Structure formats: structure tokens, C-alpha cells
Amino acid sequence: MATVSGLDIIQKYNWQVPRYTSYPPAPYFTQAPGEARTTDMILRSNRVGPRHASIYFHVPFCPKRCLFCGCHTEIGRPGAFIRNYMETMERELDLLIPMLDRNRSVTQVHFGGGTPNAVPFAYLEGLIGKLKSSLTVDADAEIAIECDPNLLNLEKVLELGAMGFNRLSIGIQDFDPKVLEAVNRRFPKTAPKDIFRVAREWGFKGNNLDLIYGLPYQTTESFRIAIAKAIDSGPDRISLFPYAHVPWVKGHQGRLQDLPMAGIQERLEIAWESRESLMHAGFVPIGMDHFALPDDELAIAARTHGLHRNFQGYCTSARAGQVYALGASAISQLHEGYIQNAKDLDRYLSAVNEGRLSHETAYRMRPQDMAVRNIINGLLCDGEARIEASLDAEGLDADWKREYLEASKANLTPLLADGLAILDGDFIRLTGNGHYASRAVASAFDPMLKPKAEQDRPRYSQAL
């Protein structure tokens, strides 16, 4: 158990800050496609940045709405609409493929949502088949799918393996039926332990189980049980996420506000104790919210400074190249910038079926953005970063660099005083307590983030 003083310090920095799955964060993707020259960004990505590629397919459909969800989802769409959407993604892939160098290797494929395993598997198989026939998919490529465990049984695991999937991520969120009922989610018919066992037997690796703390009816005691059951289920990885309460963005979350929920102090205790329990069980902490067994490639990457982070979570630098994203609302993460597809399904479908990519907003990186991205990614992946070396690598203007360093070090002063980070020459390093407040430490280096007193409205969730 953490000391009270330690929890108090972390609570002090439990600010509303970005999750930094990208830098800049998605709210800054406001440039029009022409202004950002998105087609040029894609073409240049063949020559600039990592050579290997990741492909992301966004499948937004869910049979029911989970009240904690912050994703772009669609509920109750008829089968004909789903078929049209999935076939449109194939057409979108046809538009993208000629823009990519086919000598580049695809090392990672990810199906997210939504609930990808809620649609007929033939659509998933069609997309994988087209991808493999059109681009160079590495023989050891990771092909992953996010699944609702309530819609998964052992036969379906085998079907996914037969069509090429080799990693599962299942969102159990909690093992308590009362908690699941409160967030409009059902308990899985097939035990996660059996799902992971069969998946391992069929060669799936890096299998992940998601848990969320901060949901209604959860307590420190009840979540101890959830952690114990998660460990007993036998995943290779466990993701431990704080519930992100943003009802000003996702109105359905407002339905949770009248239910009993853990306060800030108890949430911090849950996070702290869960981390300790997972480490005691042999899991290695990965960044700020992932854990992996020591022989998992994520744990190996953590030991060798080979971690990477994107909208799909933590992965290894060897696998995760520049991300080319397909589907409504999907975000491509390229070396030189970000491109987001139309969020509205009708606008997305119309654009692609008219023969054009549905790019709606974008952000083209400047040299200073790339430098800041490198610092923030270093902190959130490796727990440390070189500050001036990151700035020098981008050849930044001396005046901008001086002002940035002064502002960042001023932001850091209270964090250093409270022992959340150590400044050692050019290195900024997180301490043990600092890993809990890593988003707050990272935000000290974000020149775009307004001070809390100047924010006109809430934009982000609490850090923990």
C-alpha cells in the first residue's frame, strides 16, 4: 500500500491533461486536408520516417452502448449498412494502396472499434486477404483484433486464427457482474481463462486483457478481486486504464454520474495497489498503464528502450511503423503529421464511394512539434528523455529553444520538488511516484497546453 504522503502528492497532480497517444493531441487536428497537403504527406511517408508500416481498420459497430465508452461507435445498425461499410473499407484500401511503396513491409495490422468481432468474420477475412495480396505483409507481422469477450467463444478464436489473426485483446473491464450491469455490459459466456488458453495453443502471442478502474460500484476491495481474476486468466499483457469521464464529449457517460463511484483518493489507491499486485505476480510495468509478462515482446522492448506508443496502445518500435488508418474517424499517424477520416459515417461512405479518401482534418508537424513529440514519447515509453538533444536534432531556432526550455523548466519546478521526476543534466527521468503522474510530467513539456487557470472549458480527462 502506498504511503498517505505519496498518494497525496500524486493526487495533487491528477490534472486534466491529454493521454498523449499522439503529440499534438487529436483536438489540434483542425487543418483542412488541402491546407495540410495530406496526399503529399502519405506519398512522402514512403521516403521519410520509419520504413515499415502499420495498418489500422476501424470497425465502429457495437450491439449495445457501454456507458463508459469514449470511442467513435455506432449502435444498432442493420446488417445491410454494416456490409456497405465493410465493403467501403475495401474500396478505401484500393485507394490507399497505389500511394504506398509496395517494397515497404507491413509489420502490424490492427482491427479496433467499436467491436470488430461483432461483424461477420467474412468481412474481416476479406480485408486481410486484400491486404496480403496487395502489399508486402511481413511473415511475422502482428495481426491483432480487439474483442468483446461476451461475443467470443472457443470456436470463434479458432476461426480468427485460421484467417490470420495472431493476437487478441479482450475488454473484460471488470469481473463483477454488478459493475458490468451498471455500465451496460454483459459478463462473458466463455471464461477469459479458456479463451487465452486456446489462443496460446493456436499460436496467438501478446494476448491482452483490459481492465478499467473508476467505474460504478468498484471499491479498493472489489478491484483486488478483479486483479486476481485477471492474473488467473493467463493473459500475456494487462492494460489498466482509469475511467475517462468526459460527458461533455460523450453524453451517454452522464448516466453514470448518479451511481456510487470511487472518489479520487480511492481511485489512486486502486491504481497504486493494482500496480503493486501485478508486479508481485511477475508482470513488468510498461509505460503508464500496460503490464506484460517478462518474456513478452513488450517487456523485452521496455528493457531495451524499444517501446512505441500510438492510438492502439503500447507496442514495439520494431513492429509499429507509420500508421495508415482506414474507416470512419480513423487517424493515420505519419512521421510528418496526422490525418483523420470523416467521423460521420455518411460523409465517410460518400467520399470513398465517390473515389476519394475521406480526409476531413489533419495536422502537419513542424520541427518544434517533432522535438516535443520525442520528449513526451520518451517519458511515456521509457520513463526518461533527453531534452536539449531532442531540440537540437530538429535544428530549432535559438530564441524559440531558449524560451521553450525556460517555460518547460518552470513547469517542472513543482514536479521536481515533489519528487515526481529528476533532472540529471540533459535527462529528465521519472521516479517511482512519477510513473503514476507521467501524463502530468509530460504536460510540462507541452507548449500548446494552456495552464489550468486559462482553460475556458474542460477538454481532457483526469490523469488517474
pLDDT band at residue 2 under the 50/70/90 scheme: very low
What pLDDT score does 451 carry?
A: 63
Better-scored residue on pLDDT, 16 or 276 = 276
| CATH of the domain spanning 366-454 | 1.10.10.920
Better-scored residue on pLDDT, 320 or 132 = 132
Q: Which residues, in sequence order, are bridge partners of residue 242?
A: 213
Checking if the pLDDT of 1 tops 60, the result is no
Residue 210 burial (10 A CB sphere; 0-12, 13-18, 19+): buried
Closest by CA to 198, choosing from 164, 163, 152, is 152
How large is the average pLDDT for residues 137-141? 96
Among the listed ranges 10-19, 323-332, 356-365, 435-444, which one has the minimum average pLDDT value?
Answer: 10-19
Closest by CA to 349, choosing from 91, 29, 41, 4, is 91
DSSP 446: -
On average, the pLDDT of the chain sits at: 92
Checking if the pLDDT of 234 tops 80, the result is yes
User: For 166-220, what is each residue's pLDDT tens digit?
Assistant: 999 999 999 999 999 999 999 999 999 999 999 999 999 999 999 999 999 999 9
What pLDDT score does 74 carry?
A: 87
User: For 292-348, what is each residue's pLDDT tens digit?
Assistant: 999 999 999 999 999 999 988 899 988 888 999 999 999 999 999 999 999 999 999
- Angle of helix 192-201 relative to helix 154-162, nearest 10 degrees, comes to 30
Q: How many CA atoms lie within 13 A of 303 on its CB side?
A: 9
- The gap from C-alpha 263 to its chain's centroid, in whole angstroms, comes to 25
Number of residues assigned to the chain? 464
- What are the cell numbers at 152? 467470443
Q: Are 166 and 142 in contact (CB under 8 A)?
A: yes
What pLDDT score does 433 carry?
A: 82
Whether residue 114 has a cis bond before it, omega within 30° of 0: yes
pLDDT band at residue 115 under the 50/70/90 scheme: very high
Checking if the pLDDT of 101 tops 90, the result is yes
Q: What is the 3-state secondary structure (H, E, C) of 5-68?
A: HHHHHHHHCCCECCCCCCCCCHHHCCECHHHHCHHHHHHHCCCCCCCCEEEEEEECEECCCCCC
Residue bearing cell 510498461 = 286
User: For 366-381, what is each residue's pLDDT tens digit?
Assistant: 999 999 999 999 999 9
CB atoms within 10 A of CB 21: 15
What pLDDT score does 324 carry?
A: 98
Q: Residue 417 is inside which H or E element, if any?
A: helix 398-417
User: For 30-76, what is each residue's pLDDT tens digit?
Assistant: 999 999 999 999 999 999 999 999 999 999 999 999 988 888 888 88
Checking if the pLDDT of 382 tops 90, the result is yes
pLDDT band at residue 463 under the 50/70/90 scheme: very low
Checking if the pLDDT of 93 tops 50, the result is yes
Reduced to 3 states (helix: H, G, I; strand: E, B; else coil), residue 455 is coil
With pLDDT > 70 as the criterion, what percentage of the chain qualifies? 95
User: For 386-396, what is each residue's pLDDT tens digit?
Assistant: 999 999 999 99
Cα 158 from Cα 112, distance rounded (Å) = 19
Checking if the pLDDT of 9 tops 80, the result is no
Better-scored residue on pLDDT, 240 or 9 = 240
CB atoms within 10 A of CB 303: 11
Cα 1 from Cα 276, distance rounded (Å) = 8
Cα 379 from Cα 363, distance rounded (Å) = 22
What pLDDT score does 464 carry?
A: 46
Q: Which residues, in sequence order, are bridge partners of residue 204?
A: none
pLDDT band at residue 15 under the 50/70/90 scheme: low
CA distance from start to end of the chain? 17
What pLDDT score does 127 carry?
A: 98
What sign for the dihedral angle of Cα 174, 179, 180, 184?
negative
Checking if the pLDDT of 457 tops 60, the result is no
What pLDDT score does 160 carry?
A: 98
With pLDDT > 90 as the criterion, what percentage of the chain qualifies? 79
Q: Phi and psi at residue 412, in whole multiples of 5°?
A: -75, -25
Domain covering 23-326, topology: TIM Barrel (3.20.20)
pTM of the model: 0.93
What pLDDT score does 4 carry?
A: 39
How large is the average pLDDT for residues 144-158? 96
Domain assignments of the chain as residue spans, ordered by start: 23-326, 366-454
